[in-house]
Structure formats: structure tokens, C-alpha cells
Structure 1
Amino acid sequence: MALKQHFILLCFFTSCFKSLTADTTNSSFTLKTFGQRSTFDSLLSLYGGAKVVNGGQSLQLTTGRVIYKNPIKFYSGTPKKLVSFSTYFEFSMTSGFHGDGLAFVVFSGRDDLFDGNGSFGVSNRGGVKFLSVEFDTLMDDKYKDINGNHVGIDLSSFVSLKVVNLSSVDLGLNSGTRLQVWIDYEAGSRRMEVRVNKFGENRPVDPLLFGEIDISKIWPENDGFFVGLSSFNGNDSSQRCNVYSWSFKTRQQPDWMHSDPLDPVGFKGKGKEIKVHKENDCVLWIVSALILGIGFGALGSFVGMLMWTVFARRRPIAPEENAVKPVVKV
């Protein structure tokens, strides 16, 4: 009976483990190319002059944008908690005049964000809320741009909260070089990090720039949010912007994660990248430990019952020297 109960529990936790490892959310996608039209159409929408080129090897966003179709929930659980997200994409831009560059944009579905006339094709009208990371190739004095080769974190305005000169790390946006970008937002620390490197190079340990942004104060409601890549270059622009791959994923914030912003100075110079444990990893460790514990418990019970059957229930045999001698009748 005990073995049967252990076996039932083992099957139950195994099924839970499988359900936790399955990707059942609609907030994650990976497109290494854009050649599979059915997959592409089910995930992404093209607007403006955006189009698939080079036989599906890239998207051209010279004057257009690509938006992930499914609304993303930035809050989950009970009570509602902000989730973290990460995105990765590869792109290149050719040199040209009157080109804004490229921007990764997060926006609410209720906002009329894109009007085709603002920087990167994004409206800058008052009251429109958005979060973006801009890869700017146009120095615009009204936005206090530092040069025509910078990366900035923007919050409902193209006057960047944080900005960095890409020339300082020997990278050029409009050089035609294929670049790769990692953007990570950690809900626990309210911290956004941006990393950039040449295609084929490793992900940098230290972020190129970072900023503390509390999304819960920008969008306190649990509305559907959208993410996209947008570019806008004037009709007389000769700049070309191509995107070669794009992926995006969300992950829940662990209950035990520190809620205050991390101090980046305390980690500087360690030589190794600080890795934040994800909630899924924690859950998997817990479930794995339970499965192992139950498995060893069931094995121990089986061995114990076997030993009891072999030894405890075995009839004692009298030793030879104490054996009963037969009675001989005369």
C-alpha cells in the first residue's frame, strides 16, 4: 500500500514538472529569419514601408515598423506583480542623410502611438506614453542629442533619460556593420539594461547603459501592451535599416527577489556577469527536489519492505548443536 501511494505521488509531481517546463504563454517568440511566411504572419504585423527582403533573410524598416501581434501582460500572479522581460535582435543600417535610425518600443494598445511624422515614426504628442530604446543616427538639437551615433533610453519623450556615445566603444550605427542588441528589464530592481556588440561577438558582461524605470508607475493597469521595432526616415532619406532576427520573452518575478534597485557600483569590476535567478528556475529546482525526495523515499520503503520480508518473517532454524535428538524406544 505504501509503495502504491509513493508511486501515485511520484506521477503527480512528474506531471507538474512537465507542465511547468512547457511554454504555454503567448509572451515569448523567436524568429531567426523571416522566411517562413505562415509563422511570420501569425506573430508579426508590418506597417508603413516595412517589408520582407532578401528571400526572408531580413526585414527592411526604412520607413515602417514591425509589431508583435499578441498583447503582452506585464503583470501576473495574485496579487498582481510586474514581470521582467528580455529582447534580442540583430540589425544594420547603411549610411545616409535624414535617417533617424531604429527604436525598440513598448506601448499600450490604447495609445495612438505611431503617426509616421515623429522620430522613429513614433508620436511625440503630449500624453502618449511609451518606453523605448533608440539607436539614433541623427543629431537633433531639440532632443538634446549628443551626436549622430548614440543609444538612449526614452520614456514618453525623445529627450533620453540615459544616453551613451557608441563611438566610445568603437561601434557605428550607420556603418553597415551588423550589430546585435540585448535589452533586459528586471522587475525586481526596476532596472533596464542595454548591451550592444558586433554580430558574432559575445554578449558583453557590463551593460552599455542602464536606467531605473518603474513600469508600474507608467502603466499601473494590467492592460495589454505591445512591443515593436520602428524606424522613420524622410522621403528624401538614403538610409536603409534591416533587421535580421528578433526574439522576446517575459518571466515572472520571484517572491524572494529584492524589491529595491540594485547598486551597480557594488558589482563593477568583478569580472563576471551577475546572473539573476529566474522564478522558473527556482520552481524547477523545488519540483526537482520534491521528485528526488519522493523517489528516494519510495525506494527506501521498497528496500525496507524487502528486507522485512526476507529476514523478519523468516522462521528461525535451530543450530545443529541444539537440535532435538530423536527418542529411541526399547
Structure 2
Amino acid sequence: MGTLSASRYLMVLFIFCFYFRTIQSEEKMSFGFGDFGKDSNFESQIALYGDAKVVNGGIQMSGSMGFSAGRMLNKKPFKLIEGNPRKMVSFSLHFVFSLSRENGDGFAFVMVPIGYPFDVFDGGSFGLLGDRKMKFLAVEFDTFMDEKYGDVNENHVGVDLSSFISVKVRNVSSVKLGLMNSGEKMQSWIDYEASSKRLEIRLSKLGDIKPVDTLLSCPIDMSQMWKEDELFVGLSSSSGNSTQKCNIYSLSFNTRTAPHWMHSEPLDPQAFVEKKEEMKVHSRSDCALRILGALLFGTGCGALGALLVVIVWTVLGSRRPVAPEDHPAVMELHNKEFDEYKKFIVVVDKAMEDGKVKN
């Protein structure tokens, strides 16, 4: 009976563990600072390099002089592929910033691997290394039109992959947000979803809610780009040949993982047009596989549920009430049976005596 009870609890525990491991995303790394004052303790998570320094509760990364540059990066590295079996890591970043009116280089969100010379600056755009062949990913918030990199204007956001020539770019003026170097505070959200392999950038004025529509969306498979590399993330800035000030007022960052079966390929509209017929075949097979998977999962859950019901029924059915021998009801029953037995003996004896007398 004890074995059956233990089996029942183990089965319930197994079901709950399987359920939560399957559907829940797991938070891996997280930090956030509403400001960078003395009480924020940001130095436990973030390191400053170059000209970056705390000014009035914010971090001024550049602008104290011409060709000023600075960075702020997290201290603890992370990977975009984790665990066994392998799980792809997504991340989200939110920050508030301002750029003064000069036409400097602006700044960039950056991802760099271990081995990147954090405290080395050589005059490259956004405070990144220009002449060295160092792999990086950057989302540039550019307020200088540099023709050698094919910039569309002096007010754009672009995605850079180990080069200052953006693979995708968006004119901020086209979405009626004004100039990024107006001196006013703005905020940005940068999200990478490993399931769709897509990097999304959103931008708005301070006080507005997070926009539903993206300013810029770019399909990138970061698991292929970085593989097993350990990475640092943060912001990097350069004033260029100006005294443009770049200030960061708040910053939050977190990573999360999802089950491997939730991952899919990036949905690139251009690729969809080029491979329309191929995707039709794939979509039918994928649909069939998903239906089969759902049926198998439902069958498995049903079998586990039935097994659990059988175990519970067996345990409860085997628990019949047993009264102890010294229980009053039992003793009364025994006394009645004994009295009837004595009466039977007396009757038999009397009958035998009568028989002898008659003979």
C-alpha cells in the first residue's frame, strides 16, 4: 500500500515537472537600473570604459571634448546557445537616452565576444574599432551622414554586422519622431527572438508606451553568427569631430530560453517570394508533423491520466475498514455467539437425558 502511494506522488511530480519544463521560458540573466546614481549599485553589473562617466545620475559616454569615446558593457558574459540539449537564447534591452544637437557619430548597441579590447579606442564610428578585424553586432543610432558607409542621412538607425555598412537601415524622420539629436530624451527597445531568429528595434519619445510596430526588423540567426562564443552587451559612443554629448539615463537587459521545438526559421518576405513553391511543400509537411505531434502528445497525456486514475482507484479500493479485536462492537458480537453456543449445548444435553429416561 505504501509503495502504491509513493508511486502516485512520483507520477504527479513527474507530470508537473514535464509540463513546466515544456511550456515555460526560463529567465537566465537580468539586470536593470532606473538611474546610475550612488544608490543604484550599477558597478556590480556594468563596467565603464574610455570617457564614460556618471553625470547627474546618468552616464555620459562621450562629448566632453572632440573625438571623445566611451563604452558601458555588462561584466558577466553569456551565450546564445546553452544547455544539453541545446537551447537558443533570446534577449531584450530597454534604455533611455539623449543626444545633444551636434552632428556626432551618435551611439550603438553592441554585442562583442570575449577577447574584444574593451578599453582600446582608435577613432572608429560609435567608439568601435575601425581598422581591426573584430567581429561585432551593432544597432547604430547615427546622427552623422558618412558617405563612405552609404548612410541615408544624419538621422537613421541601422543594423551592422562586423562592418559600418548597415545590412538594414531606417530613416527615423520617416516615422515622425523628429531628430534623435534634438537634446530631448528618447527610449528604445531592442529584442531578439531566438524562435523566429529576428532582431527588432523600436523607438519612441520618453513617456510613450512601447510601440506595436517596429522601427526596424532584421532576420538574423545569431546562433550561427556567434555559435558557442561568450558575449558582452552594452552601449558604445563616439562624438566624432564634434562635442556631441551622449547620455544614458536608464538601462535594463534580460535573457531567456525556450524549448528547442519552439524554434523556427526567420520569416523574410523577400525569401518567401523567392522560394514560394518550396515553402508550400514545407508548410504542408510541417502542418502534418505538428498534427501528428499534437496527437501523440494528447495520447501520452491521456495514458498518463488513465494510469494515475488506476493507481488512485487501487489505493483507495484496498483501504477497507478493519475493526480491532477489543472494539466494543466486536466484543458484543463474540458474546452473542458464545451465548447461543451455550444454549445449543444445554438443549442437546437435555434431549439426551430425556432419551435415556424414556429408554
After TM superposition, the score normalised by the length of structure 1 is 0.73
- 1:80-159 mapped onto 2 (5 Å cutoff): 80-97=86-103, 99-112=104-117, 114-159=120-165
Alpha-carbon distance in 2 for matches of 1:238, 1:80: 46
Aligned to 1:273: none
Q: 1:132 to 1:32 in 2, by over 3 A?
A: same
Larger Rg: 2
- Aligned-pair CA distance for 1:304: 8.1
Q: Distance in 2 between matches of 1:302 and 1:39?
A: 57
Deviations 1:57-112 (A, max 9, x none): x2111231111000111211224443222211111112114x11110000111233
The 8 Å contact of residues 102 and 134 in structure 1, kept in 2 or not, is answered as yes
Q: Does 1:73 align with 2:84?
A: no
Measure how far apart 1:237 and its partner are. Answer: 2.4
What is the distance in 2 between the residues matched to 1:303 and 1:40? Answer: 58
Among all aligned residue pairs of Structure 1 and Structure 2, give the percentage whose two residues are the same amino acid. 45
Secondary structure of 1:104's aligned partner: strand
Aligned to 1:60: 60
Measured in 2, the distance between the counterparts of 1:258 and 1:16 equals: 19
Q: Distance in 2 between matches of 1:5 and 1:36?
A: 55
Structure 1 position 168 matched with structure 2 position 179 = no
Residues 207-247 of structure 1: CA deviation (Å, up to 9, x unaligned): 11111222234333x1311111011114x623221111111
Paired residue for 2:316, among 305, 314, 322? Answer: 305
String of CA shifts for 1:110-139, please: whole Å, max 9, x gaps. 233652410011012252110000000111
Residues of 1 paired with 2:236 and 2:46: CA distance?
A: 13
In 2 relative to 1, CA 78–15 (structure 1 residues): closer, same or farther, beyond 3 Å? Answer: closer
Equivalence for 2:257: 252
Give the gaps of 5 or more residues in structure 1: 267-285, 316-325
How does the TM-score come out when normalised to structure 2? 0.67
Q: Distance in 1 between matches of 2:136 and 2:237?
A: 15
- Which residue matches 2:203? 196
Structure with greater proportional helix content: 2
- Is 1:215 aligned to 2:226, yes or no? no
CA distance in 1, matches of 2:81, 2:13: 32
Q: Per the alignment, do residues 301 and 218 of structure 1 end up closer, same or farther by CA in structure 2, a change over 3 Å counting?
A: closer
Compared with structure 1, are the counterparts of its residues 17 and 248 closer, same or farther at alpha carbon in structure 2 (3 Å cutoff)?
A: farther
1:237 matched residue in structure 2:
242
Name the SS of the counterpart of 1:28 in structure 2: strand
Give, in whole Å, the separation in 1 of the partners of 2:202 and 2:74.
22
Deviations 1:161-209, CA, capped at 9 Å, x for gaps = 1111101111120112211111111223322111111112121112111
Query: C-alpha root-mean-square deviation of aligned residues, in Å?
Result: 3.8
